[in-house]
Structure 1
């Protein structure tokens, strides 16, 4: 059986997901697309023998569409996810699930009312081989109880449109979800420290930033977000436990010994660093739909990320430690 997928949003990430559904994933194909730029939707559709429909709602309600991928502008996500739930269709939503915690809660309530999970959120780091190995070590008790986690998220550079809040909402959100997943622990407070600014940034931007989090169990996380580091795209994570330390490996590459030097390459973008994770994310999403049981990041994870990023953004502006207050997690989403 082939799952027929409709895609709402045919920008860069939408086209990338269409490519992997078409070229990488088995058991699924894209049959309909929509975008605010209808000409672009038509061009994308023509390349994969799909149909371009006038609106995202037309895609969601199309009788030939079994499941929906939402890669449209962030403020439209809640509208389309809620429409997919109402239509009784599985929906994969790129982060953010919604731009407000209130809209995330609406999605959670609608999904519970439907009676089973339909929503998966695009936190692709959970599908990265290095992070999965780290989780197996932590869950297996090989380093004892986690005490401290050190993280870094570095980009070579960002455009002038990037502002200080985006360091939290668009960049650190990946680590926020990953930390919750790795430690199986909720973040309960956030703080942002502003170091000396790099000269390699636009004047309006606070860069770098150091974000400090505490979990319910008392573990502490420090996260360096440095989006104009100049040298490449560099993701680091180290977890210190009571009896050992586990560190995320760097991407595999050759080491060159030449001219009295030992050197290797540094990746320049997230597209290369997490390409395999994106692919596996969709392979497993489609497989879970065939099985009738979603297992990836849930609407609850999307809600938790929204609340934590809101608190961290407040901490950025206030300079204070800000408490993170989540609703009680419904049994519907597990323990």
Structure 2
């Protein structure tokens, strides 16, 4: 029997998840939708020809008896409330990042889930489901390049909108690296620093771009991440691990090599949804399968909390230019 999912938020990522549940994945169907803009919710239901009710509030959707699991893809500041409501209702919830906009909010979710006594939350960090990152993880686990010493990473977007701010380079962009690099190395961060190179002429006056974030892990691995959200040329994700006996790099997305007009070239993606489209499919299928099996295995509320703690330190480091300590408590046995 297919899992009945209610979706809160029918913006870009919400619509994409509704599409994949309805057309790509197995074992689930969308039975309810809510958006702060009801016309958008109704248009989405019509677009995908869903036999689905449109609810006038997220709370009403969560408490609809027809909804067995909840997918939260609304505005970030609303996530904490909806996830806590889903936990209170005893319903599994897949929440797009951020789990909450502050580490304190994430901890409230952790505490509510632990009080419930069973994992109900999966956070929408998709990169651990990407085939390239999984290959890197396997290589590290096999000791193919010895102990990791340094990581050189980049997160580049062709451009961003006028509402994109300097702190969002951490909370909306780097947040993915904060999660996936912690997963790759299987250890927490202990410090962060942010430095600002020469500003790009393509960056709006209120935005510092690019930025370089310097992280250190508990074992002393040093990480540098370039964040450049006005790079113009495409959406480009890079990760190179320097180990004691070798170097491993994240594979480039598959593309056709073209010889034409006296040049040799390969295309570069410009859409982040296309870069990780397979990972989005795998992560959401894992959530569906986990709910049906009675055991979630994807990124947890604790992972969401860990990313938020590190992000808070990075935002502070943006402001004061200093090396900021990251104080992460030990992970509870619950996770």
- Range into which the TM-score falls when normalised by the shorter chain: over 0.9
Matches within 5 A, 1:172-187: 172-187=174-189
The CA deviation at 1:242 is 0.9
Separation of aligned partners in 2, 1:102 and 1:250: 36
Separation of aligned partners in 2, 1:45 and 1:259: 46
The CA deviation at 1:196 is 0.5
Separation of aligned partners in 2, 1:321 and 1:73: 31
Matches within 5 A, 1:311-330: 311-330=313-332
Separation of aligned partners in 2, 1:133 and 1:178: 13
Q: What secondary structure, in the 3-state scheme, does the structure 2 residue paired with 1:331 have?
A: coil
Deviation by residue 1:28-73 (Cα, 9 ceiling, x = unmatched): 0000111111222222234311000111011111111110000111
The CA deviation at 1:151 is 0.3
Aligned to 1:2: 2
Normalising by structure 2, report the TM-score: 0.98
Moved beyond 4 Å, runs of 4+: none
Aligned to 1:27: 27
Matches within 5 A, 1:113-152: 113-152=115-154
Length, aligned pairs only:
333
Q: What secondary structure, in the 3-state scheme, does the structure 1 residue paired with 2:309 have?
A: helix
Alignment of 1:222 onto 2:207:
no
Matches within 5 A, 1:294-305: 294-305=296-307
Q: What secondary structure, in the 3-state scheme, does the structure 2 residue paired with 1:65 have?
A: coil
Aligned to 2:255: 253
Q: What secondary structure, in the 3-state scheme, does the structure 1 residue paired with 2:334 have?
A: helix
Matches within 5 A, 1:1-335: 1-46=1-46, 47-333=49-335
Question: What is the RMSD of the two structures over their aligned residues, measured on CA atoms?
Answer: 0.9
Q: What secondary structure, in the 3-state scheme, does the structure 1 residue paired with 2:181 have?
A: helix
Deviation by residue 1:306-333 (Cα, 9 ceiling, x = unmatched): 1111100000110000001123311101
Give 5+ residue unaligned stretches, structure 2. none
The CA deviation at 1:261 is 2.0
The CA deviation at 1:87 is 0.7
Separation of aligned partners in 2, 1:169 and 1:100: 10
Normalising by structure 1, report the TM-score: 0.98
Deviates most, 283-292 or 298-307: 283-292
Separation of aligned partners in 2, 1:252 and 1:71: 28
Give 5+ residue unaligned stretches, structure 1. none
